[in-house]
Structure 1
Amino acid sequence: MDIPLNHIRNFSIIAHIDHGKSTLADCLIQACGAITEREMSSQIMDTMDIEKERGITIKAQSVRLIYNYEGQSYILNLIDTPGHVDFSYEVSRSLASCEGALLVVDASQGVEAQTIANVYIALDNNLEIIPVLNKIDLPAAAPERVKSEIEQTIGLDCSNALEVSAKANIGIKDLLAAIIKLIPPPQGDTNAPTKALIYDSWFDNYLGALALIRVIDGSIKKGQNIYIMGSKKNHEVLDLLYPHPIKGQKTKEIKTGEIGIVVLGLKNVTDIAVGDTITDFKNKTKEAIAGFEPAKPFVFAGIYPIDTNKFEDLRDALDKLKLNDSSLTYEPETSVALGFGFRIGFLGLLHMEVVKERLEREFGLDLIATAPTVVYEIIQTDGTILKIQNPSQLPPEQKIAKIKEPYVKSTIIVPSEFLGNIITLLNKRRGIQKKMEYLQETRVLLEYWIPTNEIVMDFYDKLKSCTKGYASFDYEPIHYQEGNLVKLDIRVANEIIDALSIIVPKSKAYEKGKELIEAMKEIIPRQLFEVAIQASIGNKIIARETIKSVGKNVTAKCYGGDITRKRKLLEKQKEGKKRMKAIGKVALPQEAFLAVLKID
């Protein structure tokens, strides 16, 4: 079916977690008749088990729908985006391939932090934004209040905002009509050289690496020799498909303004990075699409197999996972305490959790992760600059002139009754207040600069528990700032345990060290000899705990008889204990490494 360019609509859905984005996508797919009742399952766009269990979108999906409106056929390309801040680069590329976006806000909850962050990305891409209030059938829904909140915080006119309920199928026809009327058709030159944006890529066991693209100019044909501008490589197009939630529809050509899947038969996704530009090999376009940048890891952690023989299995699992997730970076590292493992770079904390969970589930591995760290900038006394992501890479104290740490700009929206709790938490985490604004009498927007190191441990859990789960939080990296930081080492039986070293502010070093060794005293089992646990900065011990030895009754076999027999055995035991203390090794249980994550 040949549909003209002005009958194509490319749009995306922006929403905070749990505001009904995936349910609304399901509704639109059904309304356009792309899937029969029998084939339908809830959250059809979320393909991973973790996505369905947690109710989040991790991997953006797309679908091409055909809808008849007033006797005309229209192509509606729904480009789904992940909602979480960790995937904001993918969100920006998905939005760059659209002309419009539906801003979905829960009519009972109102505007949340991530909604604001993603709306700004959409505004940067000059998208037409349609406000949509979802869940209007709930008893707690307050559409008028939420409309005024959107107008106040984002500055969008909500006089024509659509009120829908994806669960109850209310207002979906009006929404489809609004998409056709309000979102502009794609602009592009059908006769220009091929120019297409890769906005997602993944690996298929049968077809190899696949690129999900939006054609800006020209078209892509089956058998064409294409050139990828970022990786500077050319490939032949083996097949083309239109995306569909269950089965892709084959096509000979993807035209200007359309979205589609390109099959190139590649072995990995690194050659088709998200944000790259595809053009024709012989007749190249003059310039690539702006905004392409390689994925930058934000948080690093060591991941080790609990069974040290599974190191090669972990390597294979990471190689396979990287086929689907090109943002993953990893390199082997060894730890005295944990053996062989990998130092892995993640886009953020949710990304770290998801990757660890996928490695455990999909590849049947038992893993242990060290405390997450960020990248520090070390200015040495000779003027050289080092970037480190592992506390063990820190040079000796006398060689360090300055340590700079990364900061994030965070946006927090919280009910005003919890404002005191939040400010106390942020001050404790060395936050600097930049803005405080009342959205209404009952809700406050806070903007703080916080050292990244302070949010990578358990900040989100603490934020949720001190606001009974009502606060919403979003952040973006901003810059490096000098900090008075030191490396805190933990010694067990006089041996530094490298996996437990952390970089902390000097003012907090004593209390952190004390808390950590107190937690470890409870965890480490008693030995036949006394064990000292110490916290130190360099060679200076700042805190100490001692685990008492287990007494073994060596005189049990001496009943009656001369006292000197017992004394002789006790003396022999004493000598043995001295020797054990000198050469005794302590086996640390797995919980000891998790203690670092639990201290406040």
Structure 2
Amino acid sequence: MTQIRNFCIIAHIDHGKSTLADRLLERTGTISEREMQEQILDDMDLERERGITIKSHAIRMEYVRPNKEKFIFNLIDTPGHVDFAYEVSRALKACEGAILVVDAAQGVEAQTISNLYQAIEQGLEIIPVLNKIDLPGADPENISQQVIDLIGCEYEDILRVSGKTGEGVEDLLEAIVERIPAPKQEIDKPLKALIFDSIFNTYRGSIAYVRVMQGSLKKGDPMLFMATHKEYDAEEIGYLKLKKEPCTELKAGDVGYVIGSVKSLQDARVGDTITHQKNGADEPIPGYQESKPMVFSGIFPTNSEDFEDLRSALEKLQLNDASLSYQPETSKALGFGFRAGFLGMLHMEIVQERLDREFNIDIITTVPNVQYEVEINHKGERRKKTVDNPSEMPDAGKVETVWEPYIKASIITPADYIGPIMKLCQDKRGVYKNQVFMQGNRVEITYELPMAEVVFDFYDKLKSGTRGYASLDYELLEYRKGDLVRLDILLNGDPVDALSSITHREKAYEQGRKICAKLKELIPRQQYEVAVQAAIGSRVIARDTIRALRKDVTAKCYGGDITRKRKLIEKQKEGKKRMKQVGTVEIPQEAFLAVLSMDEDDR
């Protein structure tokens, strides 16, 4: 037990976490040179391309010190993005220590700080590491000072490492042995094993990755999942090396996997506690939460015949991603599709990308929005309703109050960009809280913002306004009252449900006017006049008209009485009127995509 060290790596996106993990695997002889490839723990193409970790991984290494003393290291790799904050908190719970990796060229960034605070709250031992010291732009002295200001460590405690060249990795391995405490020896107590991740295998069911906190689990033991009250037998247990390595027993302090023919990923949820069916633990490990989607969007196949393919694709994705939720929905404009809930914008982007790559399905997504709470007054009776789809929003006359989710956003940026960031946050209805000047001409600005304003294009604008230097992290605060309305887009008086949105009353006119102007450009002209309107309830607030295509019916008349021409024009007018009654306007796909990607400036 004293020879085990469980730790994770905390870092902002692109600070070299996966590359550093590669060097640790090499130095401990966990993988041979033949098996080696860059970012070996990131096994998804998407992870490699974007340089981000989407799914957390765990791997067991054996380290032999120069004096031949043997140690077992369990590295639990965590996702770095704010959308996966809950998974990070569970992975941290499974560790006794954390390596804080900071890029020696870029310095401390927002997500590093939020994950670091979580680690400190859970009482983890922190080893600060400056990575990428071989870069020409590295500034180890200044960045060391930032780290000292952040965690209050001594200058000598900070290790200097290069994940690329392998410099300083030996010192890091020694520091893991010396500074990170061994797990508590609680083998005599009832079994408690924390699930920090789970994956789905078509043949073996859901495989839970666990850290045994107390007691021990043997092969064949009857298990109880405490949150879902499901019962299974431990058919196979083992350690997580590059491939799974079966064993007969996992004891307190061990990290490994458990296979028990668990039928669904929903039964083995991240954060749940496994115990024995008989003489098990009374209390689960605290901190378990149901995954709650924050951002909602409609997903429709561009070709309606692909609906069943889309359904099976979403089912398969959900097997490997329990936080994705979806339900069928129909739209007059787009046909059959699904309403899907995501953890955040990155999660939504990843799901769309995987649908396209892994299943080769072309999809259209509607404007992303968040969940609102609406109080309705119907015939003197008040009741609350949760709304995540604009088409479900009741008529303006029935709505008493609307509550929307607010987040606390921490933005770290070079001081030169304070102006553009503050303007962006004010435009997004942000409430300024404070700003703190940090080491090296950097500022941390805190705002409270409505989540609905952040999910659309806030992150892109933040990056473009600061040349990519600013970093963002956020946490959900509460629901607050807001003056929100449903903005409908009408074509010839018929609402197009896929273009409806929930927006703030002050912004509704501006947004409606710009959408109408955009649709006027994109919808092809018909044989009759088409009115494009934006409306709140029954009140039209903006209108554009798509002119009719004219056929010159009087071309065959030459000379003669004017009444002949007038008669032909009247006849044509009657025909157009009848056509308008029965005709429907086809909205091209570019129109939906344009409204989705419409920038504030040209909206």
The 2-side partners of 1:251 and 1:577 are apart by: 79
| Equivalent in the alignment of 1:170 | 167
State the AA in 2 paired with 1:353: E
1:229-308 superposed matches below 5 A:
229-245=226-242, 247-308=243-304
| Equivalent in the alignment of 2:503 | 504
Q: CA deviation at 1:596?
A: 3.1
Confirm whether residue 143 of structure 1 aligns to residue 140 of structure 2: yes
C-alpha contact 1:516 1:599 (8 A) present in aligned 2: no
Cα-Cα RMSD = 1.6
Q: CA deviation at 1:192?
A: 1.8
Confirm whether residue 30 of structure 1 aligns to residue 26 of structure 2: yes
| Equivalent in the alignment of 1:183 | 180
| Equivalent in the alignment of 1:116 | 113
Instruction: Name which of 3, 11, 15 aligns with 1:19.
Output: 15
State the AA in 2 paired with 1:185: A
Structure 1 counterpart SS, 2:99: strand
| Equivalent in the alignment of 1:521 | 520
| Equivalent in the alignment of 1:484 | 483
State the AA in 2 paired with 1:309: E
Q: Deviations over 1:328-368 (max 9, x none)?
A: 11111111111111111100000001011112211121111
| Equivalent in the alignment of 1:56 | 52
Structure 1 counterpart SS, 2:224: strand
Q: CA deviation at 1:553?
A: 4.9
The 1-side partners of 2:590 and 2:446 are apart by: 36
Q: CA deviation at 1:277?
A: 0.4
The 2-side partners of 1:544 and 1:561 are apart by: 40
The 2-side partners of 1:398 and 1:549 are apart by: 35
Structure 2 counterpart SS, 1:300: strand
Structure 1 counterpart SS, 2:91: helix
C-alpha contact 1:131 1:158 (8 A) present in aligned 2: no
Residue identity over aligned pairs, in percent, reads 53
1:55-134 superposed matches below 5 A:
55-69=51-65, 70-134=67-131
Residues 579 and 155 (structure 1), Cα distance of their counterparts in 2 relative to 1, 3 Å cut: farther
Q: CA deviation at 1:17?
A: 0.3
Moved more, 588-597 or 498-507: 588-597
The 2-side partners of 1:31 and 1:303 are apart by: 46
The answer for unaligned runs of 5 or more in structure 1 is none
Residues 173 and 492 (structure 1), Cα distance of their counterparts in 2 relative to 1, 3 Å cut: same
C-alpha contact 1:524 1:588 (8 A) present in aligned 2: yes
1:526-545 superposed matches below 5 A:
526-545=525-544
Structure 2 counterpart SS, 1:116: helix
Residues 282 and 165 (structure 1), Cα distance of their counterparts in 2 relative to 1, 3 Å cut: same
The 2-side partners of 1:230 and 1:522 are apart by: 54
Confirm whether residue 322 of structure 1 aligns to residue 322 of structure 2: no
Q: Deviations over 1:78-107 (max 9, x none)?
A: 000000000000000000000000000000
Confirm whether residue 47 of structure 1 aligns to residue 23 of structure 2: no
Q: Deviations over 1:500-556 (max 9, x none)?
A: 111111111111111111111111111111111111111111111111122235567
Q: CA deviation at 1:560?
A: 7.0
Residues 561 and 14 (structure 1), Cα distance of their counterparts in 2 relative to 1, 3 Å cut: same
Q: TM-score, normalised by structure 2?
A: 0.96
| Equivalent in the alignment of 2:219 | 222
Q: CA deviation at 1:244?
A: 2.1
Structure 1 counterpart SS, 2:266: helix
Instruction: Name which of 329, 340, 351 aligns with 2:336.
Output: 340
The 1-side partners of 2:543 and 2:566 are apart by: 33
C-alpha contact 1:516 1:595 (8 A) present in aligned 2: no
State the AA in 2 paired with 1:267: K
Q: TM-score, normalised by structure 1?
A: 0.96
The 2-side partners of 1:466 and 1:157 are apart by: 36
C-alpha contact 2:146 2:440 (8 A) present in aligned 1: no
Q: Deviations over 1:113-172 (max 9, x none)?
A: 000110011111110011000000111111111121122244444431000000111100
The 2-side partners of 1:554 and 1:133 are apart by: 79
Residues 571 and 170 (structure 1), Cα distance of their counterparts in 2 relative to 1, 3 Å cut: same
Q: Deviations over 1:169-198 (max 9, x none)?
A: 110000000001000001141122221000
The 1-side partners of 2:440 and 2:239 are apart by: 48
C-alpha contact 1:203 1:269 (8 A) present in aligned 2: yes
C-alpha contact 2:142 2:439 (8 A) present in aligned 1: no
Structure 2 counterpart SS, 1:384: strand
Structure 2 counterpart SS, 1:396: coil
The 1-side partners of 2:241 and 2:557 are apart by: 83
| Equivalent in the alignment of 1:453 | 452
Instruction: Name which of 352, 355, 374 aligns with 1:356.
Output: 352
Structure 2 counterpart SS, 1:166: coil
The 2-side partners of 1:74 and 1:593 are apart by: 57
State the AA in 1 paired with 2:329: E
Q: Deviations over 1:470-492 (max 9, x none)?
A: 11011111101111111111111
